[in-house]
Amino acid sequence: MNAIQPEERAHIAKKTTWVGFVCNLMLTIGKILAGLLGRSSAMIADGIHSLSDFVTDIVVICFISISAKGKDEDHNYGHGKYETFATFIISVMLIVVGAGLLWASVTKVLAALQGESLTRPEPVALMAAIASIIVKEGLYQYTARAGRRIASDTVVANAWHHRSDALSSVGTLVGIGGAMFLGESFRVLDPIACGVVSVFIIVTGAKLLLPAVRELLETSLPVETEREIGTIVTRTPGVRAYHNMKTRKSGSAYIVDLHIKVDPDITVNEGHAISHAVEENLRARFGITLQTSIHIEPWKGPSTVSSQPCD
């Protein structure tokens, strides 16, 4: 496993986000102009949705830089929680944007049912929707790949924000196409499609929000991960048992505190070497961002390896 250094990780995250930032700038201007010229309120709303990506891009750029900092006097475990907080902000924004689109779509559907005539869009709005889908889906693939490479929930969350914009444009495309080619009675497809898409946006935001909240509340790592950590510890030569393991996540870093039991007759240097071996074995599996605190105790039981329940 080739671990990515924090500096390189921050560089990749910022580069990816800047690419999205520039694309969002062009799309926002283009879609709003297309909505105005093409007489499409759906396209104007889609442009406003793209505008929300500016805020998330700025959040990612700022918070990724902060989270890349090491330990200091005020942050003994580093600045990883800043990245988690950024993910929280992006998730909330997705939910808010989705709720706004849902409200607007419901309002338009009700107005249409009451006999209000909806404006027929022009072809420029249709072309803008197609361009938006292509660009935003490309941005999603590019950003998500980078986020998985550097194990950044924030970058992955930002990628999903790109995809939410693409999905919104799909709804806009369906609505504009229906309004243009199927007649006035089908113009209600625009708000209906946007309403369906907005639900997916809200669900996506909620899925990203839950892990961020769990991390901010210091929830332990998944049981499967803790079991894997325990297996690595017990397989380290010299470890007779381990217990009192506590785990949590801070940004991309795993933080592990545990007690290991070693033979009581070995030297302090030998005990330290064993704890260092445990740390290196864990870091080899989980990456350079792993942080550990290992307490050494004398083993008083039989010469077999035991696990977490050991007192």
Domains of the chain as residue ranges with CATH = 6-216 (1.20.1510.10), 223-298 (3.30.70.1350)
- Token pair 């990749």 is found at 12
This model's pTM is above 0.85: no
Q: pLDDT by residue (tens digit) across 116-150?
A: 777 778 899 899 999 999 999 999 999 999 988 88
The stretch 216-232 carries a mean pLDDT of: 84
Residue 266 has pLDDT above 60, yes or no: yes
Place of tokens 């800043």: 82
Greater pLDDT, 211 or 127: 127
Rounded to the nearest integer, the mean pLDDT of the chain is 80
- Split at pLDDT 50, 70, 90, the class of 309 is very low
Q: Give 23-58 pLDDT, tens digit per residue.
A: 888 988 998 899 889 888 778 777 777 776 666 667
pLDDT tens digits along 152-199: 777 888 788 788 788 878 878 888 888 888 877 787 777 777 777 778
Give Cα separations from 238 to 19, 112, 135, 286 (angstroms). 50, 75, 55, 21
Q: Which pLDDT belongs to residue 261?
A: 92
For residue 102, the Cα-to-chain-centroid distance in whole angstroms is 23
Q: What residues are paired with 243 via a beta bridge?
A: 259, 309
pLDDT score, position 251: 64
What letter does residue 304 receive in the DSSP assignment?
Answer: S
Confidence label for 311 from pLDDT (cuts 50, 70 and 90): very low
Query: Looking at the DSSP assignment, which residues form a beta bridge with residue 131?
Result: none
Q: Label each residue of 242-297 as H, E or C.
A: EEEEEEEEECCEEEEEEEEEECCCCCHHHHHHHHHHHHHHHHHHHCCCCEEEEEEE
Q: What is the pLDDT of residue 68?
A: 60
